[in-house]
Structure formats: C-alpha cells, structure tokens
Chain A
Amino acid sequence: MGALAEVAGDENSGEGSRTFVFQNEGHTLGNALKTIISRYPDVDFCGYTIPHPTESKMHFRIQSNQNRAIDILKRGLDDLESLCDHTISTFESEVKTYIETNNKPVPTLDNRLY
C-alpha cells in the first residue's frame, strides 16, 4: 500500500477539490507544504489537519477551480524539493566561506541612531 491516498466524497466536486491522506507524516511536511501551496495564485483553499493524534496520518486539502488538485500537489512538492536543494547549496557555500575567512562580522542592523 502506498503512503498517499485520497479521502472519498469529492467525486462530484470536480478535479480541483481533493483531500489527500499522507501516511506517517505530520506537521513537519504538512505545514511546510501548506505555506507553499496556499500561496499559489490559482489555489482557493489549502489546509492540513491531523485528524487524530494517535493515528500517524495527515489530511491535506486543496481546492482550486482552475487546475487539478493532484497537479497542484505535485507542483507544491516539486517546489519544496527545489527549495531544499537551494537551501543545501546556499548553506554549504556559506559554511565554506565562513571557515575560509573565519573573521566574518556578525550581521546586525544599522543600530547607532543617537
């Protein structure tokens, strides 16, 4: 059995509205994915819930009247994956430059006003 399923009941509401069930996932993936997908202009609603604390399931709801919910989910996961790639490469290069220079000034805001 796969780790991704769909909740029944959306058969008549078109391809744009779906609730996906993520097995063995929680707030870590749910909230990260939600912050990305809910900011897509073509998404009307996006949210997630963990219906019961003892079941390791996460329900992820997408509603759109322009695109298929599954395509939006796919785009969200793709974007989150590229975000991770970008984070890793930025972090690695920053650690490298820190170690090379090792006397980098602490970034602070322009403080002295008076």
Chain B
Amino acid sequence: MSTNIQRPRLYMDEHKLKQDPHDYGLADEPFNLETFKKKFQIVVVKYDGNEMEFDMIGVHPGIANAFRRLMLSEVPSMAIEKVYIYNNTSIMQDEVLAHRLGLIPLRADPRRFLYKTEESGDQGNEHDTLEFELKVKCTRRKDVKDSSNFDTIYKNHKVYSGQIKWLPKGKQSQIFSETDVGCIHDDILINQLRPGHELDLRLIAVKGIGKDHAKFSPVATAFYRLLPEIKLNRRIEGKEAFLLQKCFSPGVIGIDENDCAYVKDARYDTCSRNVYRYPQLENAVTMARVRDHYIFNVESVGALKPDVIFIEAVKVLKGKCRKFLEEIEAA
C-alpha cells in the first residue's frame, strides 16, 4: 500500500471522483523543506523550439498553480504601448489600428530593458523604450491594365508587420540589431489600403506584464494537467478490444497480436469517460489521475525560450518572498 501513498491517485468513476482510501488528502502532510526536496522531481519530456512539456512531480496544487499563473501574467515582455498617428487615411479607425499594432509580438529580450517610469517622459529613453515607424502609401500601378487582381494593380495594398522599421534610440544600434528587437513574424497582416490611403505612424514599445494587458504575456499557452492512469481490470479481446480502443484518445489503447487490448500509453489520454457508456465494458477499466504529478505545457510567443519563461516565473515568486522578508526584517 505504500506505493499508493507515494503516488496518490484520484479515481474517476462513472459519476464521481473518488480519493484513494489510503490517501488522507492534501492538507494532511506537514510541510518540511527536506521531505519536499526528496519528493520533488522535474522531468523534461519534450523541448522543441517554442514548445516545451515537462513533468513536475511531488508538488502541491497551490505551488504548481502559482508557477502557471506567474508565467501567464507576471513574467514581463515587450510590446507596442503607444502609437503616434501622424496620418491614417485608411478605413481602419485609429484606435483599432493602434490595438492591432499592440498585439504584434516583438523579439526584444525583456531582461535587457527596464520598466518605463514617469521620469523618462513620454518618449522614454534607450534603456526602457523601443521605437518603430510604419510609413506606407498605397498607389495604383500605372503599367498594369486589364486586371482585377489587387496584388497586380495596387502597390502596398496590404500592410504587413515586416514593414515596421526600427528606429534605434541612443546607443541601441550598437547593442542590438533589427532582428534582435523587431517583429517575430513579418507576415502579420495589419491593414489593407486602397490607392491614396496612407499610414504614417510612430510606435513606442515598452516592457510590461500580462497582468496589465495580455499582449505583454510571454506565453501563448501555459497550462498543466494531472498524469492520467488507466488500468484494465480483466482481459478484453476481439470486438470488445476494438470498442475499448475507440473509447480513448488515439494511441492510448493498443491491441496485441492475440487481439487482446492493453494500455499502451495513458499519458496523452483526454480522460473522457466514454468507456462507461458501454454495458459490455462495465468494470473493465479503472481510470485515475496521479494527484501530485503535473504535466506542464509551455508554449512561448517567441521572445523568450519556454525554459527561460519558467525560470523567470519562479524568480518572480522568489522576488515576492524576498521583498516581504526584507520588509519584515526592517520593521
């Protein structure tokens, strides 16, 4: 039974959730840093470019959730915050255009910038602000006739994020290159123009956090789920085996050479309770989740790598503790 306590499970019955009879719940076990360190485990499962999947084992939901919340809303990134509109004769309203520009992800590393303060003024300075410009004018191509394709008869009728030009402030041009700070994607359609329409904009990007506006969030998604566990309680063969396979996500249930079902990989199951619909599969499976095994998925927008985002999130939590500890010690 000791294995059950090491791996506390939540059973997903047909109509209810059930705790393990040997599991006395979350609040029961006293907190001790040494026992935490012994139980705590992180395993990186997948790390591919902007996406990362890792397991955090032996941790309480309050802590795991704090990390998730921090990645979403308190890890900083850079985004366009102010747009000076010198000319906008397109059909898109100024405020809509400014909002769209704000949502464009920038590659600038937020760790190399400071938060903009009141003192640095409207324009900001080289340490806290990035400046860009977007100047586009749409014209008709004189040489093209007998065509109704906008791409051939108009010039600049589509405005893409790649047309945004960086204007280095102060010594920024010595530290950064345009690819270090500019737009991550150069194919984001910002606006559409017609001949005679013109855009003349100056964009001011600052450092901020997701709590203030979602555009500052460094992650596209950051979520966790508990590790699913599926057990077959009896031998399931033939037609029933294929029915069982259909009840779960693809790849979860395998069927061997004797047409007998087995659990191949429960990890990526969605934990739908479809099996319970079939009377012939009654009591055939036990579905559970491991209560302290969190599968984190972090998908970065592109400015920071996902592992850096996680470390930054933990550092934010550490910083909060430090701040209040210092205040207590000063009192």
Give me the interface of A with B, judged by CB distance under 8 Å. 2-4, 22, 25, 27-29, 31-32, 34-41, 70, 73-74, 77-88, 90-92, 94-95, 97-99, 104, 106-109, 111-114
Contact = CB atoms under 8 A, between A and B. Distances in A.
A29 B317 contact: yes
B49 interface: no
A76 B325 CA distance: 10
Nearest to B63: A32
Given A28-B66, A92-B311, A95-B47, A77 B321 contact: yes
Contacts of B26: 35
A84 B44 contact: no
Interface residues of B, number: 62
Contacts of B16: none
A29 B62 contact: no
A84 B260 contact: no
B86 interface: no
A84 B314 contact: yes
Given A38-B27, A39-B27, 14 more contacts: A22-B324, A28-B70, A28-B73, A28-B317, A32-B63, A35-B61, A40-B31, A80-B321, A84-B315, A91-B314, A106-B45, A107-B45, A107-B55, A109-B7
17 contacts: A28-B70, A38-B27, A39-B27, A39-B30, A77-B328, A78-B325, A83-B33, A87-B42, A88-B311, A94-B43, A95-B47, A95-B307, A107-B45, A109-B229, A113-B263, A114-B232, A114-B262
Interface of B: 7, 26-27, 29-31, 33, 36-37, 40-45, 47, 54-55, 60-63, 65-67, 69-70, 73-74, 227, 229-232, 234-236, 260-267, 290, 307, 310-311, 314-315, 317-318, 320-325, 327-328, 331
A31 B47 CA distance: 29
Contacts of B331: 2
A107 B46 CA distance: 11
B85 to A, nearest CB: 32
A79 B33 contact: yes
| Candidate in B63, B261, B320, B323 with the most chain A CB atoms within 10 angstroms | B320
Given A3-B327, A32-B63, A70-B328, A90 B42 contact: yes
Contacts of A111: 230, 262-266
Nearest to B28: A39
Given A84-B314, A95-B307, A108 B66 contact: no
Given A86-B37, A111-B264, A25 B320 contact: yes
A37 B62 CA distance: 12
B interface secondary structure, majority: mixed
A84 B231 contact: no
Contact of A113 (B7, B31, B262, B323): B262
A82 B266 contact: no
Given A106-B267, A113-B232, A32 B317 contact: yes
Those 6 A-B pairs whose CB atoms lie nearest each other, nearest first: A35-B62, A39-B31, A98-B44, A32-B66, A84-B318, A81-B321
Nearest to A96: B44
B111 to A, nearest CB: 15
Given A88-B315, A113-B232, A74 B31 contact: no
A82 B229 CA distance: 31
A95 B41 CA distance: 12
B107 to A, nearest CB: 21
A107 B43 contact: yes
Contacts of B263: 111-113
A17 to B, nearest CB: 17
A3 to B, nearest CB: 6
Contacts of B33: 79, 82-83, 86
B27 A81 contact: no
Candidate in A22, A41, A80 with the most chain B CB atoms within 10 angstroms: A80
